[in-house]
Structure 1
Amino acid sequence: MIDWKDYSIGGHRITCPACGRGGIDRTMGLTMNAAGSGVCHCFRCDFTESYRPEGSARLAVPPKPFVEAMPSPKSARLSAYGYKLWQACEPLADIALDYLTARRCRVPPANGDLRWHASLKHPSGYAGPCLVALITHAVTSEPLSLHRTWIRGDGRKADVEPPRLLLRGHRKQGGVIRLWPTESATAGLGITEGIETALSLAWAYEPVWACIDAGNLAALPVLPGVQSLVIGADNDPAGIAAAYTCARRWSDANVEVHVTRQPANDLNDVLMEAA
């Protein structure tokens, strides 16, 4: 099901041929080695296929059958483990600053909810530098979860799959990452989906918060005291729809709203290409 000859040596993220939803849906990790053989695995449905160049031998493992089950309950607030990890993180420094600088991001203030850990373990077994962000409820500010991004000092993500993870068993719905503290949002606020995108918008407008994904951005409630909202929209169907859903709600509440548009996927892509 995979046209292996289309891929060069190294790691790739592709659309799963079994459960792929098209567009930028890239849930499958594919790796080609120097000998020309390869393996791929979907992180959503577990479809697996391997390839060897001699005789084009393949072994395909079908995805797991769908079994409807009751969803597992998620913690309504940050767990004791989450608090312990958050307290073990430090203010941005060293490789964390190198990463943000290489990504052309503005460094947020020290009292924002972005820190770093010098050697955080990934589920794959890898341990290395990681940006750690506290997710808090947009209205109540109650801690909900943590967002982790394993990084390199050259501005790239660490070579792990996936390089970004939320805490397992924690909710993120209704949450935001307050890159600037709540008290700084006295009149205006900038919002985006991702952290790097928000820190790109911050060059032109602050304070900024990251909403984690399109669903959270679309559902962001109108916050008291905010008179102007700037939305850094991702230039994909989900991002655009989320931005305008949010914009309409805030505009109906008599808030001044601006939505950015750019040819690339997000504002950070624009800055990286310009550099």
Structure 2
Amino acid sequence: MINWPSYDPGEHRIQCPACGRGDSDKTLGLTIESGGYGVAHCFRCAFVENYRPKQGAHLAMLTQPRIKGTPSIAKRETLANYARDLWAVSKPLGGIGVAYLEARHCRVPPRDADLRWHPSLRHPCGYEGPALIALVTDAVTAEPISLHRTWIRDDGRKADLEYPRLLLGDGHRKQGGVIRLWPDDAVTTGLGIAEGIETALSLAHGFTPVWALIDAGNLAAFPHLPGIQTLMIGSDNDPTGSKAAYTCAEQWALADREVTLVEVGHGA
């Protein structure tokens, strides 16, 4: 059962008491209102528990049978219609989107970059607020494959959420994806890459054009692109990021490309 009195009002993510696999396995969504009333729901096994301050906790019936593992979801080859609609209504960078980047000492990319903003985007937890929205495209084909969202504040901090950065689920793939912070027609013989959007836009103060590769896995596996003879890699200042950057640099150097590796210690 859940120790309800130990949690403050608001949204929480914790380990499910029915199917939890460890402290870091936070599949249970916990919502507590100001009067102490609460409800918990597991996104994996459908465990449901309600809480009332005077009556205590009540375990509801599971809304679906508990199953082992996670059913596979067919991978999409392009954006779902709802994602295309969200990208279409997103605005060119301005307002809080620019204020956030400038407060983080990032270079603001051109208006035709695959980076936009939304003044009031709903988070899965129910929160609504401004967010950066990035189009993720296949590094080779440029086909749209996902969206990356970052809920932000104008002081350079991310919104006070447990997961302020999210990729689309629902079968959208991340592998092989990039965020083209400068459009293809700005890329000639040289390109700068880094994991995150902010890290790439910090690198852009010294080198352009730049793309963000989302995470260390994509950075390590970044493919050789025709015509790119010079690659500038901005490495995150952590063991995983450094290893990915060196792996990418080694692969490109073996392909007889000029590679420069720099450490860009940008915060999360």
Which TM bucket (shorter chain)?
0.7 to 0.9
2:73–2:170 Cα contact (<8 Å) kept = no
1:12–1:29 Cα contact (<8 Å) kept = yes
Q: State the Cα RMSD in Å.
A: 4.0
Show the 5 A alignment for 1:185-200.
185-192=188-195, 194-200=196-202
Partner residue of 2:236?
A: 233
Show the 5 A alignment for 1:25-174.
66-67=68-69, 69=71, 71-154=72-155, 155-159=157-161, 161-174=163-176
2:197–2:214 Cα contact (<8 Å) kept = yes
Quote the Cα distance in structure 2 between the aligned partners of 1:113 and 1:11. Answer: 31
CA gap 1:67/1:9 in 2 versus in 1, 3 angstroms: closer
- Give the partner amino acid of 1:208: V
2:217–2:244 Cα contact (<8 Å) kept = yes
Equivalent position SS for 1:197: helix
Quote the Cα distance in structure 2 between the aligned partners of 1:234 and 1:19. Answer: 32
- Give the partner amino acid of 2:192: L
Larger radius of gyration: 2
Residue 203 in structure 1 maps to residue 184 in structure 2: no
Equivalent position SS for 2:154: coil
Partner residue of 1:50?
A: none
Partner residue of 1:250?
A: 252
2:146–2:167 Cα contact (<8 Å) kept = no
In structure 2, list runs of 5 or more residues that go unmatched: 1-6, 35-39, 48-65
How far did residue 95 of structure 1 move?
A: 1.0
How far did residue 109 of structure 1 move?
A: 0.8
Quote the Cα distance in structure 2 between the aligned partners of 1:156 and 1:107. Answer: 17
How far did residue 31 of structure 1 move?
A: 11
Quote the Cα distance in structure 2 between the aligned partners of 1:185 and 1:112. Answer: 16
- Aligned match of 1:184 in 182, 187, 194? 187
Task: Count residues in correspondence.
Answer: 261
Equivalent position SS for 1:123: coil
CA gap 1:179/1:118 in 2 versus in 1, 3 angstroms: same
1:20–1:27 Cα contact (<8 Å) kept = no
Partner residue of 2:61?
A: none
- Aligned match of 1:216 in 201, 218, 242? 218
Equivalent position SS for 2:174: coil
1:144-186 superposed Cα distances (whole Å, 9 cap, x missing partner): 1100111111133243544434343211110000111123343
- Give the partner amino acid of 2:197: I
Quote the Cα distance in structure 1 between the aligned partners of 2:26 and 2:262. Answer: 26
How far did residue 20 of structure 1 move?
A: 8.5
Quote the Cα distance in structure 2 between the aligned partners of 1:268 and 1:187. Answer: 26
1:4-30 superposed Cα distances (whole Å, 9 cap, x missing partner): xxx9999999999x988999x999999
CA gap 1:32/1:126 in 2 versus in 1, 3 angstroms: closer
In structure 1, list runs of 5 or more residues that go unmatched: 1-6, 35-39, 48-63, 270-275
How far did residue 250 of structure 1 move?
A: 0.4
- Give the partner amino acid of 2:261: H
TM-score (norm 2): 0.73
- Give the partner amino acid of 1:103: R
How far did residue 41 of structure 1 move?
A: 10
